[in-house]
A and B are shown apart, each in its own frame.
Chain A
Amino acid sequence: MGFDQYHEPPDELPAATRTFARLCASLTEEAEAIGWYEQRIAVEKDPEALAIMRDAQGEEFKHFSMDLEFLLRRTPPWREVARGILFQEGDIVEHGEEAEAEAFEEGASGAAGSYDHGSLGIGSLRGGS
């Protein structure tokens, strides 16, 4: 159960990839929790219970956002795409298409685009020594 986030043998994965996978799993869990609280809040009638669940959902907003920011920092192409979509007014799909085109511009499509950004994604090595 605890190792479900890995799709490849963990022993073969670099430490940075294992960390990345853990945060992806955490991001998924936080998003699920936000959705669950949204449903509970929609049906709850007791104002005190509602206040508690709204407060709890706020915690999940924070956790989700921290997970997302970590992943974006470690993945420059993802960050580049997100920069063009998040917190922008207007048509979300249009922004998505434009951000993708800018992040993976001509001559740098697909995998080449991610290498184009160049960060080795090493970051912190605490706990990996």
Chain B
Amino acid sequence: MNHLLRSHAPISDKVWELLDEEARERLAPALAARKLVDFSGPQGWEHSATNLGRTTAMQSGPSDGVTGRQRRVLSLTELRADFELSRDELGDADRGAEDADLEPLDKAAHQIALAENVAVFHGWADAAITGIGDATPHEPLQLPEEPDDYRRPVARAVEHLLCDGITGPYGLALGREQYRRVVEAAEHGGYPLLDHLRKILEGPIVWAPGVKGGVVVSLRGGDFLFESGQDLSIGYDSHDANVVRLYLEESFSFRVATPEAAVVLNP
């Protein structure tokens, strides 16, 4: 047993499998950052820091004639989303009910996926995470009111990246509202806007809950580095006669190696 304490929960193997599968199904569509940035790990729950390869000179050495340098690291940050499930519902799932109410799990999965997206694309100051949008030196481009016109800022973003020597393919993370508009839109002649944008980018367009507007990033690799300690997992907290308290949890760090490799599209 590890720190997730899953075997302490009053949950059968069959229902654990159901909960894990439900979580995967809910998380995968919303984890936009993992579709666009480099993912390494998981390194395990004990992994606490990412090596930055940098040092800070110490003001003084421990004794005469000796200098010191302190290694700088980026601490991993833990994300946790708590939720409660009804023991009656879990019991029904054990009996084979196909419609057990797992809404609290679904909500927690969406919340933690959204949090991961926000940290990667917009940063998280308390965790010392600089987001892609904060790091880029490119001036943000404005997304027009009409989605039919989105191709212009997207093409301009690609051109900005090319001017900086950042090669493709490129990917586009779009916030919920902007993604919906793109999916609904058909240009003159009925050609889907989604397909047109994909051709410009030569890469994917991903639904990115939590992202404000959009972000065009290079997918050539080596520019945006997500390091996983413990990958997303469900753990057990406590229970009483009515509910089981569980949580979704992960630990990770994120850093931008090439700030020029992204352009923000303001909503």
Do these two chains really belong together in a complex?
Answer: yes
Assess whether B6 is in contact with A125, with CB atoms less than 8 Å apart.
no
A15: B residues at CB distance < 8 A = 28
Chain A nearest CB: distance from B28 CB in Å?
A: 6
Assess whether A120 is in contact with B20, with CB atoms less than 8 Å apart.
yes
User: Which of A15, A118, A119, A125 has the most CB atoms of chain B within a 10 A radius of its CB?
Assistant: A118
The answer to whether A108 has its CB under 8 Å from any CB of chain B is yes
Chain A nearest CB: distance from B117 CB in Å?
A: 12
| Cα-based distance from A16 to B231 in the complex (angstroms) | 14
A-B contact count (CB 8 A): 83
A129: B residues at CB distance < 8 A = 35, 171, 204, 206
| Cα-based distance from A116 to B228 in the complex (angstroms) | 20
B204: A residues at CB distance < 8 A = 129
Knowing A125-B34, A126-B36, the reply to whether A120 touches B17 (Cβ < 8 A) is no
Size category of the B interface is 20 to 34
Interface bits B185-206 vs A (CB < 8 Å: 1, else 0): 0000000000000000000101
Assess whether A122 is in contact with B230, with CB atoms less than 8 Å apart.
no
| Cα-based distance from A119 to B23 in the complex (angstroms) | 11
Within 8 A of B (CB), among A83-129: 105, 107-108, 110-112, 115-126, 128-129
Within 8 A of A (CB), among B23-59: 23-24, 27-28, 31, 34-36, 38-39, 41-42
Assess whether B1 is in contact with A120, with CB atoms less than 8 Å apart.
no
From B60-68, B71-79, B122-130, B232-240, give the one contacting chain A: B232-240
Assess whether A118 is in contact with B206, with CB atoms less than 8 Å apart.
no
Q: At the interface, is chain B mostly helix, strand, loop or mixed?
A: mixed
The answer to whether A40 has its CB under 8 Å from any CB of chain B is no
| Cα-based distance from A129 to B32 in the complex (angstroms) | 9
B6: A residues at CB distance < 8 A = 115-118
User: Which of A122, A124, A125 has the most CB atoms of chain B within a 10 A radius of its CB?
Assistant: A122
Say which residue of A116, A120, A122 sits within 8 Å of B34 (CB atoms): A122
Chain A residues within 8 Å of B, Cβ to Cβ: 14-16, 73, 105, 107-108, 110-112, 115-126, 128-129
Chain B residues within 8 Å of A, Cβ to Cβ: 1-2, 4, 6-7, 13, 16-17, 20, 23-24, 27-28, 31, 34-36, 38-39, 41-42, 171, 204, 206, 219, 228, 230-235
Instruction: Name 6 extra pairs, CB < 8 A, besides A118-B20, A126-B35, A129-B206.
Output: A107-B7, A108-B7, A120-B20, A123-B39, A126-B38, A126-B219
